[in-house]
Amino acid sequence: MRYFYDTEFIEDGRTIDLVSIGVVAEDGREFYAVSSDFNERRAGSWVRRNVLPQLPPRSDPAWMSRAVLRDRLYEFLLPDHTPGEWLPASLRPEMWAWLGAYDHVAFAQLWGDMTGLPRELPRFTRELRQLWEDAGRPQLPDEPSNAHDALADARFNVTKYRLSVQARDARRR
């Protein structure tokens, strides 16, 4: 199963602090969460201007601790799987993001360091930007008006993936 995701985070060149994550599954299911553990005071001007205003109110159920977020995300990615149980590679989630290096670190750090990431979850995120470039940079629609909302960006990643695969396949014919 492919999962298209985006994270919003605070980073200072040394640490990445997850703010929110949005994930859209290939089957249409969606997941959105905001970490109640990030330190808003550490946010730079770009995050303050583009990310924080789009977060739901703190009373919204999307706000949760990193531990709860991690557990719910795992359940979303592997709904019929018991953590720690062996899972064949063909059934493991395939994660996709646009410029996903930081996204993958923010995702993986939900389990601590890389050694804590459950073995049934991927050690890398597949790169949508590279797929798009390899497909000949097909025309993409404008970003959504709520860009930098993690779920809106995850939904837009689905669009980028589909357009890129269509263009790539057309070029191969």
| Gap between the Cα atoms of 153 and 159, Å rounded | 10
pLDDT beyond 90 at 10: yes
Region 46-65: mean pLDDT is 97
Position 106 scores a pLDDT of: 96
State mean pLDDT over 99-114. Answer: 94
A 10 A CB-CB count for 59 gives 6
Mean of the pLDDT values across residues 20-35? 98
In the predicted structure, residue 83 carries a pLDDT above the cut 90: no
| CATH number of the domain that residue 13 is part of | 3.30.420.10
Residue 172 pLDDT greater than 90, yes or no = no
Cα(148)–Cα(120) distance, integer angstroms: 28
Is 128's pLDDT higher than 90?
yes
Compute the chain's Rg from CA coordinates.
16
- What's the mean pLDDT in 52-81? 97
Dihedrals φ, ψ of 135, to 5°? -85, 0
Residues 142-153 pLDDT 10s = 999 999 999 999
- From CA 64, how far away is CA 68, in angstroms rounded? 6
Tally of structural domains, the chain: 1
Q: What is the DSSP string of 96-131?
A: EETT-HHHHHHHHGGGSSGGGS-TTS-SS-EEHHHH
Q: What is the pTM of this model?
A: 0.95
- Band of the pLDDT at 99, cuts 50, 70, 90? very high
How confident is the model at residue 85, as a pLDDT? 86
The distance from CA 169 to its chain's CA centroid, rounded to whole angstroms, is 25
The region of weakest confidence among 64-78, 81-95, 137-151 is: 81-95
The share of the chain scoring above pLDDT 70, in percent, equals 100
6 annotated as a binding-site residue: yes
Residue 71 has pLDDT above 90, yes or no: yes
Q: What single string gives the DSSP state of each residue in the chain?
A: -EEEEEEEEEE-SS-EEEEEEEEEETTS-EEEEEETTS-GGG--HHHHHHTGGGSPPTTSTTEE-HHHHHHHHHHHHSTT--TTS---GGGS-EEEETT-HHHHHHHHGGGSSGGGS-TTS-SS-EEHHHHHHHTT----PPPPTTTTSHHHHHHHHHHHHHHHHHHHHHHH-
Range of the domain at 162: 2-172
